[in-house]
Structure 1
Amino acid sequence: MAELLKVDNVSMVFGGLRAVSNLSMHIDEGELIGLIGPNGAGKTTAFNMITGVYTPTEGKVYFNGQQSSGKKSYQVTQMGMARTFQNIRLFSELSVIDNVKIAYNMHVTYNLADAIVRDGKYLSEEEFITQKALDLLKIFHLEEEAHEVAKNLPYGKQRRLEIARALATEPKLLLLDEPAAGMNPQETKELMEMIRWIRKEFNLSILLIEHDMGLVMGVCERIYVLEYGMKIAEGTPDEIKQNARVIEAYLGEEVIN
């Protein structure tokens, strides 16, 4: 498999605090990878460096063979990365379908003048992305709420909408930041199946931050573990479950089936 993402010895320093220190990792095309560790370990900071929210203080990030670190978040998205957030970030006052259409708009070719006069090019492209948005909402069982205001959706459906919006950018790599946060066991089980299905159906790679170890061990092929901003282990789920340092730093005596 070809290497899709390469994180090359990156560090992030805020003042005198090293939030992430000398992190290296890679993701190949089609892989489903986990990033775990205690609260404050630097996981979300790593996500932010990968997706262009932060520029690493040291080191570089490469995506699909090109340097992505130093680019703006929207430029990284255009390269083929999409993410969700630990705290759901929807356009809460807009409709469900408009949340998805906004993501598709990065692919339109009409300009401002076309939109103002609502010419044929504008109307045909708007019809096209509306249909694509509806098709995506059907996949996530949200078509009946297409014209509902996003903030009125129950929590689990808001999570699904956020993932649908990320997929509307047509990414090669999807980064999920604690997608199971706030979900009950049944919702988490459904999420696990959805993540597997998304990877296969959309032919993409996935990087997952998650505290639910049943979910992580159930879907991830390889796992990276952070503690105090440093990588302390990497390996398969079985290797991570048996790693003494990971058990001491994060898993405790928890038995993961």
Structure 2
Amino acid sequence: MAAQQQLLKAEKVSRVFGGLKAVSDVNLEINDGELVGLIGPNGAGKTTLFNLLTGVYEPSDGDITFSGTRVNGLKPYQITKRGAARTFQNIRLFGEMTVLENVMVAYNMHAQHNLFSSILRLPTHFKGEADMREKAIEFLKIFNLESKKDEIAKNLPYGEQRRLEIARALAAKPKLLLLDEPAAGMNPQETTDLMNLIRWIRDEFKITILLIEHDMGLVMGVCERIYVLDRGQMIASGTPEQIRTNPKVIEAYLGQEV
């Protein structure tokens, strides 16, 4: 069996806001094909770390390497083009656009544009648009959203909005998908469906997934490894079984074994 190749590495990464260290000397490594969780109390620095990994913030100290390239200082769209896509704790769809248009936006990132044909509206321009539309519809079928393709995104029920956000992220053809609290606001059945969807996405698309989540049933049920943040510091990492019995994690977050 071939050794797994490292995809993402954070080495002694810190972020300071007005003298406060929101993230302090964090180390994290994720290999190709892994499904990894990031947990911790509210205010632990989880979303700040996601923002550092995806270029929303630049580290005050330390290095972030993605696919063998140091990405400190790159803009979010530059990191996305290199193969890292994310969702947000608060869903960020293009609310006034249709479901189909939301996915086509992601496909558009990888389209081979020809400015001349676009300006003159040549046949090659329309063929490119038609190809993107066809690919986007096929993608919506995968997520059972094809029948909603012409609906305005903000009018979808919450669970379908979350699925659309994940579909849009995957349409960007990422190597790494970062999910920020994907189960937030979901009922137990929706959470179970989401857990199955996350497993299926990893296996079907052969990508790596890193997720922040408070639902411990989902985290323990789907993740192969888990990192734990508390007050901006990484206090533990390991398998779900190691994490659920770790005294530091129990004291800081779980309260009791789960």
With normalisation by structure 2, the TM-score equals 0.97
- In structure 1, distance between residues paired with 2:101 and 2:114: 19
Aligned counterpart, 1:229: 232
Task: Please provide the CA RMSD for this pair.
Answer: 0.8
Shift of 1:113: 3.5
Q: 2-side partners of 1:174 and 1:137: how far apart? A: 18
* Equivalent-residue separation in structure 2 for 1:111 and 1:59 (angstroms): 39
What is the rounded CA distance, in whole Å, between the counterparts of 1:7 and 1:220 in structure 2? 19
Matching residue of 1:216: 219
Q: Distance in 1 between matches of 2:164 and 2:63?
A: 31
Pick the aligned partner of 1:98 from 97, 101, 126. Answer: 101
Per-residue CA deviations over 1:70-121 (Å, capped at 9, x if unaligned) read 1000000000000000000000000000000001111111234422322122
Relative to structure 2, which stretch is displaced further, 107-116 or 60-69? 107-116
Q: Secondary structure at the match of 2:97?
A: coil
Q: Does 1:146 align with 2:160?
A: no
Structure 2 residue runs without a partner (length 5+) = none
The answer as to 2:181 corresponding to 1:191 is no
C-alpha displacement of 1:15 = 0.8
Is 1:81–2:89 an aligned residue pair? Answer: no
Kindly indicate whether the alpha-carbon contact (under 8 Å) linking 1:110 and 1:121 is maintained by their aligned counterparts in 2: no
CA distance in 2, matches of 1:58, 1:172: 25
Question: What is the letter of the counterpart of residue 82 of structure 1?
Answer: A
Which one of the candidate residues 97, 120, 123 is aligned to 1:120? Answer: 123
Task: Determine the structure 1 residue equivalent to 2:171.
Answer: 168
Pairwise CA distance, 1:162? 0.2
Give me the whole-angstrom Cα distance separating, in 2, the residues matched to 1:130 and 1:172. 22
Residue of structure 1 in register with 2:30 after alignment: 27
**Conserved 8 A contact 1:99-1:165:** yes
1:135 paired residue number:
138
Q: Is 2:3 the counterpart of 1:8?
A: no
Q: 1:249 is matched with which residue?
A: 252
Question: Is 1:67 aligned to residue 70 of structure 2?
Answer: yes
* Distance across 2 between alignment mates of 1:53 and 1:60: 15
Q: Does structure 1 residue 203 correspond to structure 2 residue 196?
A: no
Choose 111-120 or 203-212, whichever is displaced more: 111-120
3-state SS of 2:38 partner: strand
Structure 1 gaps of 5+ residues are: none
TM-score by length of 1: 0.98
Q: C-alpha distance in 1, partners of 2:95/2:72?
A: 30
The residue type paired with residue 2 of structure 1 is: Q
